[in-house]
Structure 1
Amino acid sequence: MPIVPFLLALASRANPPWHCRARLVLLALAATAAPATLARVPDARVATGTVRTVTDGDTFRLTSGDRIRIAGIDAPETQAQRARCPAERRRGEAAKARLTTMIAGRSIRFTRVGRSYNRTVATVRHGGHDLATRLVESGDARWWPRGKAKPDWCQLD
């Protein structure tokens, strides 16, 4: 039996107290309104923004101040204290330059999938393309599935 007729039938049974009938009627009304309301509510995880600066090959900051980490990939480090070898740092600078060319000052669309180190982790789209895929295809990043060891950028030498 569909939920609304069921709730209304329950409200009319065996003379329940008025407050029970009122609750059941309100539930029936909410059940009929909920699908239409939910259809109009945008997905809070999906957002757009304009890129202010690129931090490295997989992280950037929006003009709103939000820091975005591209989900599912790893780019080489750009900071000397975080890079495992000089080659990783050189590759990191190249990855940062590539990402800067692709998105700096441009509008992007992203879907939040989590948080990490005070950043939003998100899948990112620009110009109709998935940014992670483009970075991996260009060699500036590698796929980094959740729970797996971080790629070793020094093994390429």
Structure 2
Amino acid sequence: MLRFAMLLPFALLIPTPATGAAEEVNATFLACGAGKRITCVVDGDTFWLRGDKIRIADINTPETHRPGCAVEAALGAQAKRRLTQLLNAGPFALESGKRDTDRYGRLLRTVTRSGKSLGEVLVTEGLAERWNGRRRNWC
């Protein structure tokens, strides 16, 4: 299994041995706006890092774009805010899994800090579910 590390300041993902730790990434994130997306958070499970769109591979969060109901919209907004906080809390690593990209071309990565999945933090806080291959109805 290969892991991928982010080399600073470039947004190049390079393989590193599975036994080695992925290099830590540190960036400042804001919510994505209408303009060009470079380093920002789209929603609770998708963000941009230095021009690369990344989908957190191990979770699914409520939708913020076209939510099914007001409850989903509120949970989605909360998940987005919390992911922004988690990413801004310090260096993190991006780890690849079985697939490199999803059907939309987003990089699939597990985001970890000190070996703990940030996605799992969102699951524990009730803002995400573990990814099981399909979206859940949050309404």
Question: What's the TM-score, normalizing by structure 1?
Answer: 0.61
The AA in structure 2 aligned to 1:60 is: F
Shift in alpha-carbon separation, 1:105–1:135, aligned structure 2, 3 A: closer
Partner of 1:60: 47
The answer as to 2:67 corresponding to 1:77 is: no
Q: RCO (CA 8 Å, sep 6+): is it higher in 1 or 2?
A: 2
Q: CA RMSD in A?
A: 2.2
SS of equivalent to 2:42 = strand
Confirm or deny: 8 A CA contact 1:67 1:120 kept in the other structure. yes
Unpaired runs of 5+ residues, structure 1, are 1-40
Give the length in aligned residue pairs: 108
SS of equivalent to 2:92 = strand
Question: What's the TM-score, normalizing by structure 2?
Answer: 0.68
**Cα distance in 1 between the residues matched to 2:23 and 2:57:** 15
The AA in structure 2 aligned to 1:142 is: E
Shift in alpha-carbon separation, 1:86–1:121, aligned structure 2, 3 A: same
The structure whose residues are more often helix, as a share, is: 1
The AA in structure 1 aligned to 2:25 is: G
SS of equivalent to 1:50 = coil
1:48 is displaced (CA, Å) by 4.2
Confirm or deny: 8 A CA contact 1:50 1:105 kept in the other structure. no
Shift in alpha-carbon separation, 1:137–1:130, aligned structure 2, 3 A: same
**Cα distance in 2 between the residues matched to 1:66 and 1:131:** 18
**Cα distance in 1 between the residues matched to 2:129 and 2:120:** 9
Percent identity, aligned pairs only, is 37
